[in-house]
Structure 1
Amino acid sequence: MAHIDYYFATLSPFTYMAGTRLEEIAGECGATIAYKPLDVAALFGRTGGTPPKDRHPNRQEYRLQDMRRQASLVGLPINLKPAFWPTNPAPSSYAIIAAANGGGGDMGVLVHAITRAVWAEDRDISQDDVIRDCLSKAGFDPALADADMLGSAETYAANLEEAVSCGAFGVPFYITETDERFWGQDRLGDLHAHLMDNL
């Protein structure tokens, strides 16, 4: 069975713009998904990237144009300057890890609900009430927002180390069980084609 390690960040607009297409692709191709939220700023620092705020103005301006176009292509609303970005991504990431361990809901819906809260709803995903609401919307027990936070913190840190060792350098990043790597929501079509070719 095909498998996808999915490295992403809850603050990433490009994770948001992936929507639930990964889950649709995995369902069509019979693939499993391991959800691995991580600290994208730390990933950039470890792999030669530059945080958006530190990029040349030309790159910053292009990024905003690209975000607008990409969101339009997939039919998603986007606020290019959200009220709560950046914010602390750890609490929402811990909740996703707890949800993956606890089960009972839809992981794709959860990740999209959290990223949508940032990029379309101007909500602060570092806040417990926002996280609980996203958990509920995805069919999870909202109490997972506070479940095993120490264990989730350890997994969150381990996800970063694993991503670096596996060749990831940005988000969203998809790696198959055969070490095929795909960077960006705009490469989901390529991932789909690869999985279909190997059914």
Structure 2
Amino acid sequence: MSKTIEYFLTPHSPWTYLGHDRLVALAKAAGAHVDIKPFDLGKVFGASGGLPLAKRAPQRQAYRLLELARWSQQLGLPLNPQPTFFPIPPDAAAKLIIAARTSLGAEAALELAGAVMRALWAADKNIADGDTLAQVASNCGFDGRMLVKSAQTAGVQEQYERNTDDAMAANVFGAPWYVVDGVGFWGQDRLDFVERALAKAV
């Protein structure tokens, strides 16, 4: 039986961006399948007591920027902590990733998710814009226009809602969130624990 990581993400999270490539690499090394599940973090915040960034206390916002800079330097990943297009509605990008998962498979969806997050956090692109998303997908070698169109279907919306329901059922309250053998791990700084959990999984 193959090992599985449930990967709850939202593409407008810088923390998800910082952990994405490492997650993909450690899953590959462990021979694990990544079940990628973009979800509605705003809805989860509403159910779990979380606050959107703009409503957090100033000292929390300031420390977030400090930590983003630290992790960007630590990981050697380019990151603009205050991109032009942020805060931004993540739904269109999340549903694009779901459309890729549905039509092209998990590996394609993971590749596209990484590209979308790099577009926002490293290239200062507007990932709420359909043309931008189509270009990002096309740059990955996919049919960007087709994926953007597919992302607008009722089936993708239903999957987005199911992912969100799954997140709440798993007691998710932030992103990224990883689940191995029913145990949750919040944040890219918990990937060492995810790796250890995979080593024990059967």
Using the size of structure 1 for normalisation, the TM-score is 0.94
Output the aligned Cα RMSD: 1.5
The 5 Å alignment of 1:173-188 reads 173-176=177-180, 178-188=181-191
| Alpha-carbon distance in structure 2 between the residues aligned to 1:194 and 1:140 | 33
The 5 Å alignment of 1:77-116 reads 77-103=78-104, 106-116=108-118
The 5 Å alignment of 1:16-55 reads 16-55=17-56
Consecutive unaligned residues of structure 1, counting only runs of 5 or more, are: none
Which residue of structure 1 aligns with residue 134 of structure 2?
132
| Alpha-carbon distance in structure 2 between the residues aligned to 1:67 and 1:135 | 26
% identity of equivalent residues: 36
The letter of the residue matching 2:51 is: T
| Alpha-carbon distance in structure 2 between the residues aligned to 1:188 and 1:76 | 16
Deviation track 1:27-59 (CA, whole Å, cap 9, x = no partner) reads 111111111111212211111111111111111
| Alpha-carbon distance in structure 1 between the residues aligned to 2:22 and 2:125 | 23
Question: Contact 2:39–2:161 (CA<8 Å) still a contact in 1?
Answer: yes
| Alpha-carbon distance in structure 2 between the residues aligned to 1:198 and 1:164 | 23
| Alpha-carbon distance in structure 1 between the residues aligned to 2:161 and 2:51 | 20
Residue 198 (1) aligns with residue 201 (2): yes
Deviates more, 1:164-173 or 1:149-158: 149-158
Which residue of structure 2 aligns with residue 155 of structure 1?
159
Deviation track 1:54-110 (CA, whole Å, cap 9, x = no partner) reads 111111111110111111111111111110012221111111011001116633221
Residue 165 (1) aligns with residue 169 (2): yes
Question: Contact 2:36–2:110 (CA<8 Å) still a contact in 1?
Answer: no
Question: Contact 1:36–1:97 (CA<8 Å) still a contact in 2?
Answer: yes
Question: Contact 2:85–2:125 (CA<8 Å) still a contact in 1?
Answer: yes
| Secondary structure in 2 matching 1:20 | helix
Which residue of structure 2 aligns with residue 117 of structure 1?
119
The letter of the residue matching 1:190 is: F
Aligned length: 198
Using the size of structure 2 for normalisation, the TM-score is 0.92
| Alpha-carbon distance in structure 1 between the residues aligned to 2:23 and 2:142 | 20
Consecutive unaligned residues of structure 2, counting only runs of 5 or more, are: none
| Alpha-carbon distance in structure 1 between the residues aligned to 2:75 and 2:138 | 25
Which residue of structure 1 aligns with residue 12 of structure 2?
11
